[in-house]
A and B are shown apart, each in its own frame.
Chain A
Amino acid sequence: MSSRMEAEEIFKGLSEAVIAYDEDKSVEFAKAALENDVDPTDAILKGLAHGMEKVGELFDKQEYFVPEMLACADALNAAVEILKPHLKIRSEGPQVKVVIGTVEGDIHEIGKNLVRIMFDAAGWEVYDLGGNVKLERFLEEQQKTGADVVALSALMTTSMAAIPEIIKMIKSAEPRVTVMVGGAPLSWELARKYGADGYSPNCGTAVNDTLEAIRRVREGHGSWER
């Protein structure tokens, strides 16, 4: 890619490379962005993140599945590695800090990892605690990082029972923090019953669902409807 490229062409190339989970192409276009003086933040937001948003939609429509999602994330991450050293601090779009993890008693991390990928792609600051996370660790990490959101995942009916305990812990110490929940046994109804601020049925909608929940918490809406 030696000839001069327009920024729009690079954004499109990055986006398409992510959607096609083509790591070589995403790296190629990331290098082209630097060679053509395209702002690396724009390359991430208008190229890579845009592509990942489309990937989320494809996942939501069951056109993509976990293997494709992971491969798309790999293509995105490979390009981000090239662009990261050249990033200038710039605040654009919602800057969200999230603590995320799978709750105690549960080692299932796939769903949580897919949601983390979408949060990363949106440019959010993500603190991933991993799987089988002790209840009190979520609040500790939120207080340490000043996170706006705590996102809790569970796959088992037993581990799901930890969620209301964690929410109680967080809300009594940090009522302005938004708590999101997700995972196979959860639902809108259970999320609401447990005192969560929001629920996301899958990774494809996780970013928007979380933004919506943050808005509700900031506007002081105690309850939410679906």
Chain B
Amino acid sequence: MTVTDRAMKLLKGETIDRIPLFPFILGFCAKNAGYPIATIYQDASKSFELQTFTLEQYSFDWGPLYGYASYGTWEFGGEIKMPEYNYEQAPFHTRFPVNVEEDVDQLQLPDPAKAGVLPIAMEFSKLQASNQRPISIICGGNFSIAGNICPVETLCRWMLKKPELVHRIMKMATDHIVDVVRYWCEAFGAAQVIPQMWEPLAANIIISPKQFERFVLPYLVESSKKILAMGVQHILYHICGDQNKNLPMWTQVPTGNPGLCSFGIDIDLSVAIEYLGENNVIIGNIDPIALLSETPDTIYNLCKTAIEKGKSAPRGFMLSSGCEVPPEAPPYNVYIMQKAIKDSMASG
């Protein structure tokens, strides 16, 4: 069985020998091989190689992946900075494309062949293709891109004071997602592409379920429908943070057959399965802070609980950290996830 066979069989609804381990692990892979974190984001070839080492070492069943949460800033004309110092985890924005109302008029749809980080992402995807790995492009979610085009606080103020500006930025982000996925589909074939959309900014620690319904949901539905109409079979949404009050609305977002939905610790896996398990493989949700600072026993128990809950997911389950594995996490804690899976299979 090749590295990703297990996960691909799961998507096809075939029986597999054990629960797959899904990687949400980027900066850790660089440190694990003795490289600076920035290597993961700056150098497609090295990033692929370093991730491959770690994925093999810990028996992950997916990846490597390329992407980061600040996606959208650079592509729409702003600036980002690569992680450089000890306490930096991923690229972050240093200048937003939109700061004031007038900037919205200047926004233009980026060229997916040339804009920002996309040439590096394409080089990375070519390596995914030549190594028979799932071809992913991480280019969303819609509201998180909007929050990388324009500071989230400004977006939040505009939701109440100038909602039409939020809609214009959301439309731009949505059109961009569709453009990028189309470009990837033309390069690799739609059936091979599994787009990933990370949507941390739509969490209910920031916006209300009503704001989600009005400003986010219609755009998620629009881009998802267009992506699936291209022939893409699966979309992965990382429903990051506390989105419990948004969950009933997430059921309206088409994700493919099956789709994939990953969750952080704020959403109980049983609740996730209840809302989204019927149409999606459920992925999650080991606490990254626990991976960083708890004992192996604690991690093991968290994994056992997650596996137990995940077993009832009708379209399948993959164990994963609830968000990116902290680059400084003790390696043994990362290993424990795979051990918990193997032990759970042994014990039935």
Binding site for B on A (CB under 8 A): 21, 62, 65-68, 70-71, 74, 103-107, 109-110, 113, 156-159, 161-162, 184-185, 187, 190, 193
Contacts and interface: CB of A to CB of B under 8 A. Distances in A.
Contact of B289 (A65, A67, A70, A187): A187
9 contacts: A65-B156, A70-B156, A71-B157, A104-B87, A105-B89, A107-B94, A157-B292, A157-B328, A185-B289
Contacts of A190: 289, 293
Contacts of A159: 87-89
Contact of B157 (A74, A106, A157, A162): A74
Given A65-B208, A74-B157, A158-B87, 13 more contacts: A65-B207, A66-B156, A67-B160, A67-B211, A70-B156, A71-B161, A105-B89, A156-B89, A157-B324, A158-B27, A158-B326, A185-B288, A185-B289
Contact of A157 (B85, B92, B206, B326): B326
B159 interface: yes
B157 A70 contact: yes
A184 B201 CA distance: 13
A105 B82 CA distance: 11
B204 A62 contact: yes
Nearest to A131: B92
B327 interface: yes
Given A62-B204, A110-B152, A161 B328 contact: yes
Contacts of A65: 156, 204-208, 211
Interface in B27-68: 27
Nearest to B70: A107
B225 interface: no
B88 A105 contact: yes
Given A110-B206, A157-B328, A158-B328, A67 B88 contact: no
Contacts of B86: 105, 158, 161-162
Interface string B138-181: 00000000000000110011011100000000000000000000
B87 A162 contact: yes
A67 B85 contact: no
Interface in B291-310: 292-293
Contacts of A109: 153
Contacts of B211: 65, 67
B328 A67 contact: no
Question: How many B residues touch the partner, as a band?
Answer: 20 to 34
Interface in B70-92: 83, 85-90, 92
Contacts of A193: 293
Contacts of A156: 87, 89-90
B288 A113 contact: no
Contacts of B339: none
B185 to A, nearest CB: 33
A158 B207 contact: no
A161 to B, nearest CB: 6
Contacts of B94: 107
Contacts of B245: 62
A162 B156 CA distance: 29
A103 B205 CA distance: 20
Closest 4 CB pairs of A and B: A105-B87, A157-B326, A158-B89, A67-B156
Nearest to B155: A67
Nearest to A21: B160
B328 A70 contact: no
Contacts of A74: 157
B93 interface: yes
A213 B204 CA distance: 28
Which of B90, B208, B328 has the largest number of chain A CB atoms within 10 A?
B208
Contacts of A71: 157, 160-161
Contacts of B160: 21, 67-68, 71
B7 to A, nearest CB: 26
Contact of A67 (B92, B93, B159): B159
B152 A105 contact: no
Which of A68, A104, A106, A157 has the largest number of chain B CB atoms within 10 A?
A157
Contacts of B85: 104-105
Contacts of B88: 105, 158-159
B208 A158 contact: no
Contacts of A161: 86-87, 328
Contacts of B153: 66, 70, 109-110, 113
Interface string B81-110: 001011111101110000000000000000
Contacts of B92: 107
Contacts of A157: 89, 288-289, 292, 324, 326-328
A48 to B, nearest CB: 19
